[in-house]
Structure 1
Amino acid sequence: MEIDFYNKVAEKFENYSTEVDMQKEFPGEDPEERFISELLQAADSRIEALDVGSRDGRFTLSVAPNFKKITAIETSDSMLETACKLQKETGITNVSFRKIDIFHNQYFSEIFGVIYSRRGPTDYLEFERLLVPGGKYIGIKVGEQDARAIKEIFGRGQNYGKWNEPVLKRDIKDLEDVWLTVSCAGEYLYTEYFKTSVDLSSYLEKVPIFEDYDPIKDRDNLARYIAEHKTEKGIALQRHRIVLVAEKS
């Protein structure tokens, strides 16, 4: 389960930092930068926002000064503990970290001006209910081709085998089905280059490409992947991201 995965990461590494010796190469713009740009354009000191799947809270706290208030919901106890600790260290007071499942929340309707999610859970019907008229949903999601080559070698992984089910097409339809108007829909393919096998292995322990990655049990699979994808720039890992913005009329 995803909750167990993030609890495990927080307990083993004390936070959700994925810092390793790795470089990213984009053929176009960086999807994370596009997401942040869209989020900050929608931000306002009068707006209350909902962060769905706030993880260790670092990103939430970094954008908090742009909003009146952010309610950050997360289901992992360990991640929430890390987030609250970081909040105390930063002294930022306009963020409320709460253990809430978006699929089983009890918020009143039409209370948030912005709802955003960074690869977190999505319930578009619920987002539509919670947004005020004119409010925006802004999200960055994992695409169906993400890390496909390494998943195929391992024979498992996040959304394994769903290569022919386009996330962008599906989510646009899902948003439109709940009467949210899509104003931005971007698809991004890029490459991450890891300096060493240790860097890649450490990274795989901290991200949910494989929720059950084990550096010992999976060493043969990893060695095979590295042999096939080692380049002059490093060990290549192909990534796929989707950025979406939709508005409630």
Structure 2
Amino acid sequence: MNEERFYEAVGKTNGWDFSRLRSRTEGELWDFYQLVAENAQSSAALLDIGTGGGEKVLEIAASFSAVTGIDRSKAMIETAKANLAKTDFSHVCFLEASSETLPFRESSFDYLSSRHAPFNPKEVWRVLKKGGTFYTQQVSEADKANLKEAFGRGQSFGQRDGALRDAYKRELVAAGFSEMEIREYDAAEYLERPEDLLFLLLHTPIIPNFGEQEGDFDRLQEFIGQNQTGKGIRTNSKRFLIMAKK
């Protein structure tokens, strides 16, 4: 199952409620959506690419005059609209759309954000206003390194760490961005309980087709035993951040 089909199927079944996941991260250098909100003007319009269930962007929606969230998954947008219905926001909307070709006019937004979602740099440049900023946080190849090593497979397993970061930098420059800042962190992540790790594996594509290969659950038990600490089951969270101004 490819990544898009995975998210569609799991999102429809589970509603993408990660609130039950009990984990902690030590060494995280920023909170992505708070960073976007802290640097925003209240009169600004924000486009969130790959918004998922919309939970994160709704947390900062009050910092903007208009917020649009898009996702290629119909199931995720249905979840986002259900979450929006629980608020009193009238300046937020969610649309099913692909980031490859954004359904907006040129210079429509003051800010664009994309957290752990693909984006098209040329389209980002096109719909961003002059002087506007694009923020993206992505998962580095070395994320969950010990987990992928234990299973001998995984998202970006065996790829050079930093390859995606470098590729996005080149593509953003080619699209027209010249003013850019890049940050990284590699933080310790602790999953409080075995069921938290299992929830993560079932709800994300970190380990492709988890549970479908013989020996997966034996490897899981072995991993838990080897990485159990007083703080929880230890792995790592590696992220990079690009801030590009038009």
Tell me, yes or no, if the aligned pair for 2:34 and 2:60 is still in contact at 8 Å.
no
Deviation at 1:123, TM superposition (A): 1.2
In structure 1, the residue matched to 2:49 is 52
Tell me, yes or no, if the aligned pair for 2:97 and 2:103 is still in contact at 8 Å.
no
1:86-112 per-position Cα deviation (integer Å, ceiling 9, x unaligned): 111112111111010011333221211
User: Quick check: 1:244 aligned with 2:208?
Assistant: no
- Using the size of structure 2 for normalisation, the TM-score is 0.90
- Using the size of structure 1 for normalisation, the TM-score is 0.89
Structure 1 unmatched ranges of 5 or more: none
Aligned counterpart in structure 2 of residue 119 of structure 1, from 113, 116, 120: 116
Q: 1:182 to 1:210 in 2, by over 3 A?
A: farther
1:183-228 per-position Cα deviation (integer Å, ceiling 9, x unaligned): 4211100111123322211122122313422389520221232233
In structure 2, the residue matched to 1:22 is 23
Structure 2 unmatched ranges of 5 or more: none
CA–CA separation in structure 1 for the residues paired with 2:160 and 2:200: 23
CA–CA separation in structure 2 for the residues paired with 1:223 and 1:215: 15
Q: Which runs of structure 1 show a deviation greater than 4 angstroms over 4 or more consecutive aligned residues? A: none
CA–CA separation in structure 2 for the residues paired with 1:83 and 1:173: 32
SS of the aligned residue for 1:102 comes to: coil
In structure 2, the residue matched to 1:226 is 224
Deviation at 1:65, TM superposition (A): 1.2
Q: 1:232 to 1:41 in 2, by over 3 A?
A: closer
In structure 1, the residue matched to 2:7 is 6
In structure 1, the residue matched to 2:106 is 109
User: Quick check: 1:163 aligned with 2:160?
Assistant: yes
User: Quick check: 1:40 aligned with 2:37?
Assistant: yes
CA–CA separation in structure 1 for the residues paired with 2:4 and 2:49: 14
Give identity over the alignment, percent. 27
Q: 1:43 to 1:17 in 2, by over 3 A?
A: same
CA–CA separation in structure 1 for the residues paired with 2:185 and 2:235: 14
Q: 1:54 to 1:123 in 2, by over 3 A?
A: same
Tell me, yes or no, if the aligned pair for 2:101 and 2:123 is still in contact at 8 Å.
no
CA RMSD of aligned residues (A): 2.1
What count of residue pairs does the alignment treat as equivalent?
Answer: 244
